[in-house]
Structure 1
Amino acid sequence: MKKQISLLLLLICVCGYGQASEELQSAREYQEHLNEEFRNPEESPLSEEDIKRFEGLDFFEIDTAYAVEADFVKTPGEAPFVMPTTTSREPVYVKYGELYFFLNGKERKLNVYQNQSFLSDPELYDYLFIPFTDETNGETTYSGGRYMDLRIPEGDSIILDFNKAYNPYCAYSGNYSCPIPPEENHLDTEIVAGVKSYKK
């Protein structure tokens, strides 16, 4: 009996380590990809001069505790609405679903949105958008909040990895129009994961 329990605990530990290792690698690859985009003059939101000096974005140390499994609840029948932006631009979104997850000792919720202009795009039709704010904004992270991207999951759960949280382009230049995170997507905790505030 003791051997069976020990074997079960070993399997649980091995599976947990394997999942954490995958999440760690995925976050590293994402951050490397983001840095490559910022180095590329055709994709970067940085000015030509800033690109020349760019050595890499400032990230929090990757922490797999911020890669959480979330229950994904679709919210069909939601009415389209205009999400406010930092300019007069008025993009139309629909609340597509809700994410429920446990983080920093408390159950939390984020709304997930779908840009209606992407529905006819074969590459972006399943793209979901999570703009959010947290208690680090204006301190270690951009004052206007941060974003995360998802694809519509096949099931009713998804891995929500805050190590992949990134800044709006407005954090780097005033030449962009960026959605403002809705008040209902404020997390009353510090999300010490993902991209930090940008300092030239």
Structure 2
Amino acid sequence: MMLLLASPFALAQVNTIEELQQQLAQHPIVRGDFKQKRTLAMFDQPLTSTGQFTLDKTHGLLWRQDVPFTVQLVLTKDKLRQTFADQPAQVITAKDNPMAFYFSHIFLAVFHGDTEQLKQQFDMTFKADNGQWTLALTPKAAPLNAVFDSITLGGKSDLERLTLQEIRGDKTDILFSNQSYQPESLTDAEQAQIKF
């Protein structure tokens, strides 16, 4: 059973897409744990990984996988840095690979609950039932509809589940837990990672 820490400022219940947007946008920083399960059509067993994330709405995303091996990912508006274990970091800029950043910006919009930006790229279906909300995103056009069949978000007050269903049959399920909003600014260590 996962422990989910709700914000002391959390809405009692999310019943509309507008309330969801408000709820997900109200904190400048969200930290927590993730468990990711990737099911690939070519493999019998899913690939599972766990780690921690820090989402700073101004500066970007820190994503640290600890299991089964260490990977650090730092995503900002115009740069992506990936480090595997003790290997030298690989840095990609928006200029180097505009398509990677197109997908990265969509991913950040999903995390932020930026429904205005998502509306431009997806048909959206929102449901709220018994204290739980679900937002299903269906890509409208290329290149997203060539990769994803659907992206589904779900939770109570926070984003707790994210499912990426790909056209070719691969699927990624991410569960978020232990979310917190303190401290409300990046630590020195986080700043050193994100401002590269």
Band of TM-score, shorter chain? under 0.3
More strand by share: 2
More helix by share: 1
TM-score by length of 1: 0.26
The structure number with the bigger radius of gyration is: 1
> Which one has more relative contact order, counting CA pairs under 8 Å at least 6 apart?
2
